[in-house]
Amino acid sequence: MPSITLSAAAKLNLTLGIEGRRADGYHEMKMVMQSVDLCDTVAVELTGAPGISIRCDDPAVPCDGRNLCHKAAQRFFEVADIRGAGAVISIRKVIPMQAGLAGGSADGAAVLAALNELTGSPLEKAQLLLLAASIGADLPFCLTGGTRLAGGIGEKLAALPPLPDCAVVIAKPEEGMPTATCFARYDAIAAPAQPDHGGMCAALAAGDLRGVAKRLCNVLEPAADLDCVELLKRRLRELGALGACMTGSGTAVFGLFERPDEARACADALAGECRVAFVARPCPTGWRVTAHGG
């Protein structure tokens, strides 16, 4: 049967602001988001009978209906009204979980893109984006990727000039934090100052990496209130980062570097001080087909 293998990219928040709380309980977000080439690999095979099966090399990832790839495939077949087919999905995890890097969402978005291609593109881009938003707030961004200003709960996306080429060190502390816990903590504290989204967009338009680094800001940081986050941010700056910030609801932090060799040295130095440290680069899309089969 036909199959597609994709790389699914992690996302970073260059800014994360919360504009308010909606009547339905969701937070109204404003965020500048960036894809980076820290990627999971997702292989999707179309089968000739209904049913979705998931395999993953990381035993901590649920392979049942809780997996965002499972939800994505199920909803895709429903919305595209395809009854006689199913999917076998294999996931190779690299993106750490409970990190604010949208790893699960990236995998789910890759499944939507793969199934649409494998079934002859029954859904238009706009329909796929709506479907993505119905599965999770980060999926629309992961489906498009690059550099975007996001609003609503994350489903309103506007393209921005790309982050100037740079090296990004991403460090994940031992501690994780479920997204819901972080937002609940945010609601319980006094509203912090919001990010300068306009200044961030202007710095991107000017190709000004230092201006971007200066404006990194995430209002969930004081809510997460984790010593490990503060410590890793300080270490990133000591080791040469132009700026450092937590991404999403944490607990991963990242730092921007002009020079890849400095970033490599920083990641090597941090390796013993956190669960895992990577060097990545900005990338222009949320997923990329790496192989066709069948």
Pick out the residues of the known binding site.
96-106
- State the number of binding residues for ligand ATP (CB under 6 A): 21
Question: Which residues are within 8 A (CB) of 75 and not within 5 positions of it... i.e. 6 or more apart?
Answer: 131, 134, 135
Among 3, 33, 86, 107, binds ligand ATP (CB under 6 A): 107
233 as an active site residue: the answer is: no
Among 140, 195, 248, 255, binds ligand ATP (CB under 6 A): 248
- Residue 71 CA to residue 56 CA, distance in Å, equals 15
Residue 192: CB atoms within 10 A of its CB come to: 16
Among 61, 171, 200, 279, binds ligand ATP (CB under 6 A): 61
Among 101, 110, 266, 283, binds ligand ATP (CB under 6 A): 101
Pairing relation of β-strands 156-159 and 147-151? antiparallel
Residue at 20: amino acid letter: G
Residue 105 contacts ligand ATP per CB under 6 A: yes
Residue 291 contacts ligand ATP per CB under 6 A: no
11 as an active site residue: the answer is: yes
E strand segments, 147-218: 147-151, 156-159, 167-172, 217-218
Q: Of the ranges 17-25, 61-69, 77-85, 274-282, which one interacts with ligand ATP (CB under 6 A)?
A: 61-69
Among 19, 78, 97, 205, binds ligand ATP (CB under 6 A): 97
Among 86, 103, 146, 255, binds ligand ATP (CB under 6 A): 103
Are 101 and 95 a contacting pair, CB within 8 Å? yes
Residue 99 contacts ligand ATP per CB under 6 A: yes
Residue 243 contacts ligand ATP per CB under 6 A: no
Residue 104 contacts ligand ATP per CB under 6 A: yes
Find the residue with minimal CB distance to ligand ATP.
Answer: 104
Q: Of the ranges 103-111, 165-173, 210-218, 232-240, which one interacts with ligand ATP (CB under 6 A)?
A: 103-111
Task: Give the single-character DSSP code of 80.
Answer: T
Min. distance of Cβ 11 from ligand ATP in angstroms? 7
277 closest CA partner among 252, 259, 294, 258: 252
Residue 205: CB atoms within 10 A of its CB come to: 11
Q: Of the ranges 92-100, 225-233, 234-242, 258-266, which one interacts with ligand ATP (CB under 6 A)?
A: 92-100
Residue 218 contacts ligand ATP per CB under 6 A: no
Q: What distance, in Å, lies between the first and last C-alpha atoms of the chain?
A: 5
E strand segments, the chain: 3-21, 27-47, 52-56, 86-92, 147-151, 156-159, 167-172, 217-218, 243-246, 253-257, 276-280, 287-293
Instruction: Output the CA angle 147-150-156, nearest 5 degrees.
Output: 120
Cβ closest to ligand ATP, residue 246 vs residue 256: 246
Q: Of the ranges 100-108, 127-135, 224-232, 257-265, which one interacts with ligand ATP (CB under 6 A)?
A: 100-108
As annotated, the binding site for ATP includes 96-106
- Residue 213 CA to residue 205 CA, distance in Å, equals 14
Q: Which of 71, 138, 172, 233 is catalytic?
A: 138
Active site residues: 11, 138
Residues of this chain that interact with ligand ATP (CB under 6 A) are 61-62, 66-69, 91, 97-105, 107, 138, 179, 248-249
